[in-house]
Amino acid sequence: MLNIVIFGAPGSGKGTQSARIVEMYGINHISTGDVLRAEIKAGTELGRTAKGYIDQGQLLPDELIIDILASTLDSFKESKGVIFDGFPRTIAQAEALKKMLAERSQEVSVMLDLDVPEEELMTRLIKRGQESGRADDNEETIKKRLVVYHSQTSPLIDWYKNEGKYQHIQGVGTMEDIFAEISEVINKI
Ligand code: ADP
Of all protein residues, the one whose alpha carbon is nearest to atom 10 of ligand 1 is 33
Q: Is any ligand 1 atom within 6 A of the Cβ of residue 13?
A: no
Residue 127's CATH number:
3.40.50.300
- Catalytic (active site) residue 14: yes
Write a three-state SS string for the chain. CEEEEEEECCCCCHHHHHHHHHHHHCCEEEEHHHHHHHHHHHCCHHHHHHHHHHHCCCCCCHHHHHHHHHHHHHCCCCCCEEEEECCCCCHHHHHHHHHHHHHCCCCCCEEEEEECCHHHHHHHHHHHHHHHCCCCCCHHHHHHHHHHHHHHHCHHHHHHHHHCCEEEEECCCCHHHHHHHHHHHHHCC
Q: What is the tens place of the pLDDT at every residue in 132-159?
A: 989 999 999 999 999 999 999 999 999 9
Is the overall model pTM greater than 0.95, yes or no? yes
Containing domain of residue 70, as a range?
2-187
* Atom of ligand 1 minimally distant from the CA of 61: 25
Mutating to test ligand 1, I would choose from 18, 55, 60 the residue with most ligand atoms within 8 A of its C-beta, which is 60
Q: How many domains does the chain have?
A: 1
What is the total residue count of the chain? 189
- Any residues with CB less than 8 A from the CB of 125 and at least 6 apart, and which? 10, 11, 137, 142
Mutating to test ligand 1, I would choose from 89, 138, 154 the residue with most ligand atoms within 8 A of its C-beta, which is 89
Distance, CA 164 to ligand 1 centroid (Å)?
Answer: 25
Question: Do 120 and 172 contact (CB within 8 A), yes or no?
Answer: yes
Which pLDDT score is estimated for 81? 96
Q: What is the tens place of the pLDDT at every residue in 15-71?
A: 999 999 999 999 999 999 999 999 999 999 999 999 999 999 999 999 999 999 999
Q: Is any ligand 1 atom within 6 A of the Cβ of residue 60?
A: yes
Q: What is the tens place of the pLDDT at every residue in 94-104?
A: 999 999 999 99
Distance, CA 143 to ligand 1 centroid (Å)?
Answer: 14
- Catalytic (active site) residue 134: yes
Q: Is any ligand 1 atom within 6 A of the Cβ of residue 59?
A: yes
Q: Is any ligand 1 atom within 6 A of the Cβ of residue 32?
A: yes
